[in-house]
Amino acid sequence: EDQVTQSPEALRLQEGESSSLNCSYTVSGLRGLFWYRQDPGKGPEFLFTLYSAGEEKEKERLKATLTKKESFLHITAPKPEDSATYLCAVQVKAAGNKLTFGGGTRVLVKP
Amino acid sequence: DTAVSQTPKYLVTQMGNDKSIKCEQNLGHDTMYWYKQDSKKFLKIMFSYNNKELIINETVPNRFSPKSPDKAHLNLHINSLELGDSAVYFCASSQNPTSGTTGELFFGEGSRLTVL
- Each residue's pLDDT tens digit, B21-33: 999 999 999 899 9
**Chain A closest-CA separation from residue B88 CA (Å):** 10
> CB distance A97–B42 less than 8 Å?
no
Average pLDDT over residues A67-76: 97
For residue B65, name the pLDDT band (cuts at 50, 70, 90). Answer: very high
**Closest residue, chain B, to A30 (C-alpha):** B103
Identify the pLDDT of residue B101.
59
pLDDT digits (tens, 9 = 90+) for B35-64: 999 988 889 999 999 888 888 888 889 999
pLDDT tens by residue, A81-101: 999 999 999 998 777 778 999
Cβ neighbours of A43 in B, within 8 Å:
4, 90, 92, 107-110
**B45: contact with A, CB 8 A cutoff:** yes
Q: Which residues make Cβ contacts (< 8 Å) with residue B48, sequence separation at least 6?
A: A96, A97, A98, B31, B32, B33, B34, B54, B55, B56
For B85-110, b where at least 16 C-beta lie within 10 A, e where not — what string? Answer: bbbbbbbbbbbeeeeebbbbbbbbbb
% pLDDT > 70, chain A: 100
**Per-residue confidence at B99, pLDDT binned at 50, 70, 90?**
low
How many Cβ atoms from other residues are within 10 Å of residue B26's Cβ? 12
Chain B closest CA to A110's CA: distance in Å?
Answer: 22
Nearest CA in chain B to A40: B109
- Report d(CA B102, CA B116) in Å as an integer: 36
Residue B74: is its pLDDT beyond 70?
yes
Contact list in A for residue B109 (CB cut-off 8 A) is: 41-43
Each residue's pLDDT tens digit, A32-46: 999 999 999 999 999
DSSP-derived pairing of the beta strands A10-14 and A105-110: parallel
